[in-house]
Amino acid sequence: MSPPHPALLRVAAGAEAGRIADEAAFVRSTHEHRMVARVLDSHELGEVVLSPDSITALAIQDLAERQFHLELWGALERIQAALQPMGAEVAVLKGIATETRWYDDIGQRACTDLDLLLAPRALGRAAEVVVTLDPTRGCSAAISDLVPRRLLQHVDLQYGDVAVDLHFDPLKIGLPTLQLEAVWESTELCDTPHGTIRVLAAEIELVLLLLHMNKDGFALLGSFLDIQRLVQRAPLDWDRVRGFVTAEGLDIPVWKSLRLVDAQVGLGDIEVPSTGGVRAWTWDRLWGRSILRGEGKDGALSVQPLLPLHVAGRSSDNRRELRRQLAPPRRLLEVAGRLKPGESYLRWLGIGRVQNRLRPRPGNARQSAEVSSQPE
């Protein structure tokens, strides 16, 4: 991945970009940063001028994205029907939920998978839910053990041709969400052209999207648009946002991220709380210097495990997370596919850990369940 094209930054900020000289680089950057729909809209408004060939290339990408989103909606409908007899309800996070709420049309917010949050009351049946959606996934005993203990925050599944990220914790940063029940109780039913879905309260979705930008290393310009759209279009209760953030100890990653988004694309007349202290200083050096530098997700992986350390007032949870990263439970490794039954756990802690760090990250979502606290 490369840094966003300078003209793409102007498009994201709502400014005119004019005629693009190096169109090939601009089109490539538009695709990489998930800005295809936004650029096509800007072209129609005359804010950016591109050749017919470039517009055709972007239009083909746009059609493919729209088709994929229809597949996601179809898969979601089937998943809801499959889980209904079990009484296992799910809420839709990010992705198509963010798009249908804050964007104007299908395909405008690029997606890669379905993110679903399992209702807290169904966590005891997590393994049964996994088997229902992905019968070949395996590790049912481990999932049954780890999920109620809040040690496994998600699992990657393959539902037909669609990758599904099944969350057992909404924020998924390693530390358990303290207000899990309250998060679920605040979810809302949202009527869409594709049926009714359950979604997070807008205030919680804002926090989730900001944390997700931390985990992605602020690599994608399209993620900045999510925050821009939500802040400008959602009826946000900022007191509620501040209360939730403070209770979870997330002041540093949330307010630092919101300030960066405001500086990059503009959020209008909002007041972002100030932050300071050691955590703010280290966050600036670990995340603040990599904003849209083209490092991509792989560049963000090395600092992801440090995100829980920037959560305030959670010392016991921080210690538990540190232990989990240094010596993950055997069953967690098995769910992640990093340790097979019968293999030596002690050997994994030594040679296996080094080999795992050097191994390229798998592209198949089924094989990429994570052990670390920032699974993405």
Q: Which residues contact 313 (CB under 8 A, 6 or more apart)?
A: 249
Residue 79 main-chain phi, psi, to 5 deg: -65, -45
In whole angstroms, what is the distance from residue 98 CA to residue 112 CA? 13
- Degrees to nearest 5, angle at CA 210 with 212 and 67: 60
CA 234, 235, 238, 240 torsion-angle sign: negative
Question: DSSP of 312-374, one letter per residue?
Answer: TT-HHHHHHHHHHHHS--HHHHHHHTSS-TTS-HHHIIIIIHHHHHHSPPPS-GGG---SSSS
All structural domains of the chain: 1-50 (no CATH), 70-367 (3.30.460.40)
Residue 183 has pLDDT above 80, yes or no: yes
Q: How many whole angstroms separate alpha carbon 287 and alpha carbon 279?
A: 12
What are the helix and strand counts (H, E) for the chain? Answer: 18, 8
Q: Mind listing the pLDDT tens digit for each residue in 330-344?
A: 999 999 888 887 888
pLDDT at 305: 85
Poorest-confidence range of 15-19, 243-247, 253-257, 290-294? 290-294
pLDDT tier at 376 (50, 70, 90 boundaries)? very low
Residue 250's Cβ-count burial label (10 Å; 0-12, 13-18, 19+) is buried
pLDDT digits (tens, 9 = 90+) for 205-238: 999 999 999 999 999 999 999 999 999 999 999 9
CA distances from 102 to 87, 117, 318 (A): 29, 19, 34
List pLDDT tens digits, range 315-373: 999 999 988 888 899 999 999 888 887 888 888 887 655 555 555 544 444 334 444 33
